[in-house]
Chains A and B, each alone.
Chain A
Amino acid sequence: MLVSEDKLIKGCQKGKREFQQALYDKYCDGMYLVALRYSKMQQEAEDILQEAFIKVFKNIKDFRKDSSLAYWIKRIVVNTALNHQRSKLYLYPMVDITELDHWSDRESIISGLNHSDLLSLIRELPTGCQVIFNLFAVEGYKHHEIAKMLEISEGTSKSQYSRAKSLLAEKVLNRERYNYGTGEL
């Protein structure tokens, strides 16, 4: 169904099923990638995506055109993902850590990855690191904003982000060693 975004929004606001499905079809794959970045298992990502779109359809009457529809939907997906992860973050609270290995070249190591490899490595991170890496590096939030969202200190946000980068770089190197058969895992 090819319609303009305005008509799509109006149709969804009226609750018309065909418009709702068209909106879902347009954004589902992009938002599924967002959900995958915040989850560890596929089932979890599917739950996040489903829940997020249910919220989208329930709240689309309140959508104002001060931002793009895609950005609005993405924010809902990210918030839904954070709600899902909040219980885990509560069980395993993040604390300020001292980075023991401060690699200077870890960013270059990570930057060499394609998005699929980077996605799979991000999903292997501990939950706190995963969330903060996504929020800072991918979504573009500032550390003080992240601290407010997750109810942590700014210092914790920074240190967890640094740790995320170290872990990602370590994983990249481990993979490379495994691929070259060094046997040192």
Chain B
Amino acid sequence: MGPGSFEDNIREKFENQTYKSPEAIWDGIEGDLNLGLLASYEASQSRYKWMAVAAIMIAVSSWAFHFYSYEFLGNHKTETSYNALLSNDIDYSNYFLPVEVRSSRRIADKQLLIVEVYKKSESIPVDDEVISDFEPYRLANHMVPIKNKPGLAVANQEVYPYIQAGYYARSSKNTAEGTKLWAGVEAGAGNFNSTMSGSDAISGGVNPLNLANAIGSDGFVNPTTVVNPQMNNGLATTVGLDFGLKLGSRWTLESGIAYTNVDSRGSASINVLDVYTVNDREISDTDGGLLSGSPVIPDEGSREAPLQITEMYDHEVDLRNTVRFTSIPLKAGYFILDRKVSLRVNAGVAANYLVESQLNDPSRGIISGSQNDLYNDWSFDGVGGFELGYALFNKFDLTLEPNYRHSITPISSSQTSPSRFIIQTGLRYTLK
């Protein structure tokens, strides 16, 4: 045998030869590849989580600041940001049943268990398609820390599930069969168009003494009529409870009760008849006739006599109107999207009951008191808008709902029908 030929012979023996490898090896490789994907997901998730927390805190702080600020007028919005990348959106305990442990391998200090699982029930929709009962589905790789003995029974070991990215369809939030019922709390703010006319009721709240002091008159002041109160858009804030029912896969019915406080400011002109006496003055008729509102100035040498002066003019008064009412909405909604992020359009009606209305002049106290005559006890609004939801945890959803309310029967007793635009945020809990 020549030099090198032994090694050539040995190499030829092994050339193009194969040996059947166990199938479980690929499972282990795949598990490691998924861990790599998870690591990159988790890194980005952590950033987005903290951004979402910061955005919510800023939104809540901003809303609270504006709610307690009496100088604020106009539209008021709260906003939250959503992290659409959180991965804990699937309740595996309700969704999958592990059937068997297919194989196990050791990777470093952990025991890797590969399980084959089956979907639980044919009535659970996934991506709006019903999956048949026993469709096999590979779940995630379960990494188990090896404790004392590698052969420790599966049931006694802790299981840390890892989601196998891209290996399943993301489910809708329908984790329960049939109708879904939820309850929640909401808070919101918006504008309120509080233009009103019909000043008769206002005049009843005028305090003549305070008016006279404001004018500086020593005589008798008689307010006649208030002309054209001009109110700016007010700030409406609302808190409430809501509950809803999901009918089928997309339709919803929702109701609740909300308490709304509206704060608006403006001004009004009070037409004043001011009558007072001028003493120790000589009077004479100069050009004939006394003009209304014109003081008479006596000439020299004229006889002194007390003079009663009557003036009529408009006195501007600042107004602040606070209205409180409860509202019971009834809305139908339709889910355009119902996954971890949901989008629902809704429309309906709301019945409003007036609790209290206060109209006053903040600075001088010229106008004060309850002015319930300005508003109707009962009124009805048409409500429309959409709701953006985000599934925070199992059964908890965060919602953002801008909606517009237009009066069907006006809340104001004036001819003008105030409308309002409100943005509400809420937290919703799925009861079943």
Residues of B within 8 A of A140 (CB): 7, 11
Decide if B14 touches A57 in the complex (CB within 8 Å).
no
Q: How far is the CB of A176 from chain B (nearest CB, A)?
A: 18
Roughly how many angstroms separate A137 CA and B166 CA in the complex, as a whole number?
A: 45
Decide if B7 touches A114 in the complex (CB within 8 Å).
no
B279 at the interface (CB under 8 A from A): no
Given contacts A28-B25, A29-B19, A30-B18, contact A107 B6 (CB under 8 A): yes
Which of these, A46, A110, A119, contacts B22 with CB under 8 Å? A46
Given contacts A32-B20, A118-B13, A136-B7, contact A24 B29 (CB under 8 A): yes
Bits for A22-34, please: 1 = Cβ < 8 Å to B, else 0. Answer: 0010001111110
Chain B facing A: main interface SS:
helix
Contact residues of B between 63 and 122, Cβ < 8 Å to A: 105-106
Decide if B19 touches A36 in the complex (CB within 8 Å).
yes
Given contacts A36-B19, A115-B17, contact A57 B29 (CB under 8 A): yes
Decide if A29 touches B26 in the complex (CB within 8 Å).
no
Decide if B20 touches A29 in the complex (CB within 8 Å).
yes
Q: What is the chain A residue whose CB lies nearest that of B7? A: A137
Decide if A17 touches B11 in the complex (CB within 8 Å).
no
A54 at the interface (CB under 8 A from B): yes
Decide if B18 touches A50 in the complex (CB within 8 Å).
no
Q: How far is the CB of B35 from chain A (nearest CB, A)?
A: 10
Decide if B32 touches A54 in the complex (CB within 8 Å).
yes
B57 at the interface (CB under 8 A from A): no
Q: How far is the CB of B324 from chain A (nearest CB, A)?
A: 59
Interface size of B as a range:
20 to 34
Roughly how many angstroms separate A4 CA and B46 CA in the complex, as a whole number?
A: 40
B21 at the interface (CB under 8 A from A): yes
Decide if A17 touches B33 in the complex (CB within 8 Å).
yes
Given contacts A24-B26, A108-B1, contact A137 B11 (CB under 8 A): yes
Residues of A within 8 A of B9 (CB): 111
Q: What is the chain B residue whose CB lies nearest that of A43? A: B106
Residues of A within 8 A of B7 (CB): 136-137, 140
Bits for A114-152, please: 1 = Cβ < 8 Å to B, else 0. Answer: 110011000000000000000011101000000000000
Q: What is the chain A residue whose CB lies nearest that of B33? A: A57
A98 at the interface (CB under 8 A from B): no
Q: What is the chain B residue whose CB lies nearest that of A168? A: B10
Roughly how many angstroms separate A33 CA and B13 CA in the complex, as a whole number?
A: 12
Decide if B13 touches A115 in the complex (CB within 8 Å).
yes
Roughly how many angstroms separate A107 CA and B5 CA in the complex, as a whole number?
A: 10
Roughly how many angstroms separate A132 CA and B39 CA in the complex, as a whole number?
A: 39
A21 at the interface (CB under 8 A from B): yes
Which of these, B21, B33, B36, contacts A28 with CB under 8 Å? B21
Decide if B29 touches A29 in the complex (CB within 8 Å).
no
Decide if B13 touches A32 in the complex (CB within 8 Å).
no
Q: How far is the CB of B374 from chain A (nearest CB, A)?
A: 67
Which of these, B17, B28, B166, contacts A17 with CB under 8 Å? B166
Which of these, B14, B19, B33, contacts A20 with CB under 8 Å? B33
Decide if A33 touches B1 in the complex (CB within 8 Å).
no
Decide if B14 touches A46 in the complex (CB within 8 Å).
no
Decide if B18 touches A29 in the complex (CB within 8 Å).
yes
A49 at the interface (CB under 8 A from B): yes
A38 at the interface (CB under 8 A from B): no
Q: What is the chain A residue whose CB lies nearest that of B165? A: A17
Roughly how many angstroms separate A30 CA and B6 CA in the complex, as a whole number?
A: 22
| 3 tightest Cβ-Cβ pairs between the two chains A and B | A29-B18, A32-B21, A33-B19
16 contacts between A and B (CB under 8 A): A24-B26, A28-B26, A29-B21, A30-B18, A32-B19, A47-B106, A49-B21, A49-B25, A53-B25, A57-B33, A110-B6, A114-B13, A115-B14, A119-B14, A138-B10, A140-B7
Q: Which residues of B contact A (CB under 8 A)?
A: 1, 6-7, 9-11, 13-14, 16-22, 24-26, 28-30, 32-33, 36, 105-106, 166
Supply 5 further A-B pairs (C-beta < 8 A) apart from A28-B25, A115-B14: A29-B21, A32-B20, A107-B1, A111-B6, A138-B11
